[in-house]
Amino acid sequence: MTSRPSASSEACYRHPERESYVLCQRCGNIICGQCQVPAAVGSHCPDCAAAGAPRAAGLAKRRAPGSYRPTATYVLLGILIAVYAAQLLSGGWVTELLLYWPPLTAIEPWRMVTAVFVHSTSSFFHLLFNGFSLYVLGTLVEKLVGRGRFVTLFLLAGFGGSVAVLWLAPSSAVVGASGAVFGLFGALFVIQRSFGGANVQLLIVLALNLVMGFVVPGISWQAHIGGLIVGALVAWIMVATRAASQRTAQKVLLVAVAGGLIAISALRLVI
- Catalytic residue numbers? 178, 224
Please give the full DSSP string across 71-132, using - where no structure is assigned.
HHHHHHHHHHHHHHHHHHHTTTHHHHHH-B-GGGTTT-TTHHHHGGG---TT-HHHHHHHHH
Report how far residue 171's alpha carbon sits from residue 167's, in angstroms, rounded to the nearest whole number.
Answer: 10
Rg, the chain, Cα only: 20
Report how far residue 90's alpha carbon sits from residue 42's, in angstroms, rounded to the nearest whole number.
Answer: 37
Which of 136, 105, 130 lies closest to 117, judged by CA?
130
Please give the full DSSP string across 132-186, using - where no structure is assigned.
HHHHHHHHHHHHHH-HHHHHHHHHHHHHHHHHHHHHH-TT--B-SSHHHHHHHHH
Q: Residues in the chain, how many?
A: 271
CB 32 within 8 Å of CB 195:
no
Q: HEC states along 5-68?
A: CCCCCCECCCCCCCECCCEECCCCCECCCCCCEECCCCEECHHHHHHCCHHHHHHHHHCCCCCC
Report how far residue 6's alpha carbon sits from residue 246's, in angstroms, rounded to the nearest whole number.
Answer: 20
Tell me, what DSSP letter sits at residue 241?
A: T
Backbone angles phi, psi at 100, to 5 degrees: -110, 125
